Structure 1
Amino acid sequence: MDLDVARRFAARWQDDWNSHDLDRILAHHHDDVSFSSPMITRLTGDPAGTVHGKAALRAYWAAGLEKIPDLRFEVIDVRAGVDSLVIDHRNQIGGRLSEVLTFRDGLVVTGFGAYGETAAD
C-alpha cells in the first residue's frame, strides 16, 4: 500500500469515527471481517477478544459508542505495509492506541487494536 493512500484512508477513518455514524465506519470493511481488541474482552467479557463478521463488528462498536458517547480519535501517525496500514492515534482522554488493518479488494478484512500504558477508556 502506498503511504499517501494509507494517509488518505486514515483521515477518512478519523472523520468517520468522529461522526459516530456506524454505516460510514463499516463501509470500509468486508462482510467477513475479523477484528480483535482488548476492548472487546472488556466490553463483552469474551476472553477471545475477537468478533467475526460485519454484523458482530457493528454490534460491538454500537455498544462501545453507547458506553463512550464522547469517543473521539486523533490520528498521530500512519504507516503502510504491503496490504496493510497502522494508524497510531489518541482517544478523547489522551489514551494512545494503534490499529493495524489488513485489506483485501480495497476493504478491511482483518484488524486489531493495540493499547499502551495510557488508559484507553
Structure 2
Amino acid sequence: MTPENLQSIAFRWFEAFNNKELEKLLSLYDEEAQHFSPKLKIRQPETNGLVVGKDAMRTWWQDAFDRLPTLHYKVTSLTANGDRVFMEYVRQVIDEEDMLVAEVLEVRHGKIISSRVYHG
C-alpha cells in the first residue's frame, strides 16, 4: 500500500473513533485482527492485553465509549510506510490528565490486521 493509502486508513480510524461510530471503526479491521492495549491489560487482566477478532474489539471499544463519553484522540503525527502506519496522538478525557499515546496499525489488503497501543 502507498503511504497515502495507509494515512487515509488512519484518518478514517480517528474519525470513526472520535465520533464513536463503532461499526465504521470495525469495518477498517480484518475479521481476525488483533488489538493490544495496556489499558485492556489493566481492565481485563485475563486477556493479557490482547483481544482477537471484531467481536472482542467491539466489546472492548463499546465499554470504553460507555465509560468515557468524552474520550477523544487528538492526532499529532502520522508516519506510514510499507504495511504499517505509526500514529501518535493525545488521549483526552474531561477531568483526566492528557496521555500521550502511540499506536501502530499493520495493514494487509486494505484492512487492519493488527493494532498495538503504547502509552507515554
Cα deviation, 1:69-110, whole Å, max 9, x if unaligned, reads 111111110011211111101111421101101111100011
Letter in 1 for 2:3: L
Per-residue deviation, 1:9: 2.3
Q: Where does the alignment leave 5 or more consecutive residues of structure 2 unmatched?
A: none
* Residue in 2 that maps onto 1:59: 59
* Residue in 2 that maps onto 1:115: 119
Aligned structure 1 segments of 4 or more residues deviating by more than 4 angstroms: none
* Residue in 2 that maps onto 1:102: 106
Q: Percent identity?
A: 24
Aligned counterparts of 1:8 and 1:35: Cα–Cα separation in 2 = 19
Per-residue deviation, 1:47: 5.6
Aligned counterparts of 1:90 and 1:46: Cα–Cα separation in 2 = 27
Aligned counterparts of 1:47 and 1:61: Cα–Cα separation in 2 = 14
* Residue in 2 that maps onto 1:7: 7
Q: Where does the alignment leave 5 or more consecutive residues of structure 1 unmatched?
A: 117-121
Structure 2 length-normalised TM: 0.89
* Residue in 2 that maps onto 1:119: none
Aligned counterparts of 2:109 and 2:36: Cα–Cα separation in 1 = 20
* Residue in 1 that maps onto 2:18: 18
Aligned counterparts of 1:55 and 1:38: Cα–Cα separation in 2 = 19
Aligned-residue RMSD, C-alpha: 1.4
Q: Is the 8 A contact 1:73 1:90 kept in 2?
A: yes
Q: Is the 8 A contact 1:10 1:75 kept in 2?
A: no
Per-residue deviation, 1:48: 1.3
Q: Is the 8 A contact 2:41 2:48 kept in 1?
A: yes
Cα deviation, 1:48-76, whole Å, max 9, x if unaligned, reads 11001110111111111112111111111
Aligned counterparts of 1:59 and 1:47: Cα–Cα separation in 2 = 13
* Residue in 2 that maps onto 1:31: 31
